[in-house]
Amino acid sequence: MPELPEVEVVRAGLEPAVTGATVSSVAVFDARSLRRHPAPAEDFVARLVGRRMRAAVRRGKFLWFPLDDAVEDAAEEGVPEALVAHLGMSGQVLLRDRAADDARTRVRLELDHPEHGALRLNFVDQRIFGSMAIDGLLPTGDGEPGGYAGDGASGPLVPSRVAHIARDPLDPAFDDRRFLAALARRRTGVKRALLDQTLVSGIGNIYADESLWAARVHPEQPTDRLSRVRARRLLGEVRLVLARALDEGGTSFDAQYVNVNGASGYFSHSLNAYGQQGRPCPRCGRPIVREAFMNRGSHYCPFCQRVRV
């Protein structure tokens, strides 16, 4: 599943193309990709065509594109709206010219941009776990921007379906002190806490394993027995790992994760723990192990990462 770095790579690639672009037409080829939209596909189309996108914003693994005021009262009066996208397991948002097409395109948006001209946005999803929807925007509880937008254009609004998702560690409005205090109160394993989207968003299985390895913290370390110093170190390593993954375009193990131009990321070549079971730990040389964890796996070094009580 795409995690924060992969979704941010997509957001950054889309930003210059969608900001200021007007939706000239919409084609829905598979209504299952609109299952989180609160009305039929015809409503989705009617509420998008003719509207201008103002930005590309992300919180955790969610993307959204705030829309200008509704055309012909298509939106609920007084409620600002956004097009919200979640990539699910295999979703892709591909930027094309009007002559290009992609297999397994579920939703297609034709855009007219004042500088870049005619563009095509294909929402491609092999397994159809991702989705698009039009959603109302709510004020953020802290008055800060709803999510990360590279040009700073995100106002203090967040889609209603994203409001329960915590901020991610790369969000300028992320509150370190609040996170560390909440982490200490969790009384659970630290990896389980890192994957809790109501505590911190965007850290999936890959980057949790990599961050825990870098901080020398066992995945099952109880959060209430994790010292403040080690918790701060872990948060710092989370940010470093996410930043490195961003620099390398994310992690691609197959063709399902690509950026908006269809190119793969290469952070998979920099992994120290995830998927490295049986190989020597880059730090101590002992074998990395894999253990079952929440229908997935945890990868760690039993020597470097020990539970501390």
pLDDT over 80 (residue 127): yes
Residues annotated as catalytic (active site), given as ranges:
2-3, 61, 296
pLDDT at residue 212 in the model: 98
Q: Which residues pair with 293 in a beta bridge?
A: 296
pLDDT (mean) for 64-83: 75
**Placement of tokens 């700073």 in the chain:** 152
pTM passes above 0.85 = yes
| Domains by residue range for the chain, with CATH | 4-159 (3.20.190.10), 176-300 (1.10.8.50)
Half-sphere exposure of 68 (CA within 13 A, CB side): 14
Mean pLDDT computed over 66-71 = 79
Radius of gyration of the chain, Cα coordinates, nearest whole angstrom:
20
SS (H, E, C) 85-107: EECCCCEEEEEECCCCCCCCEEE
pLDDT single digits (tens) 234-277? 999 999 999 888 888 655 434 444 445 555 444 556 789 999 99
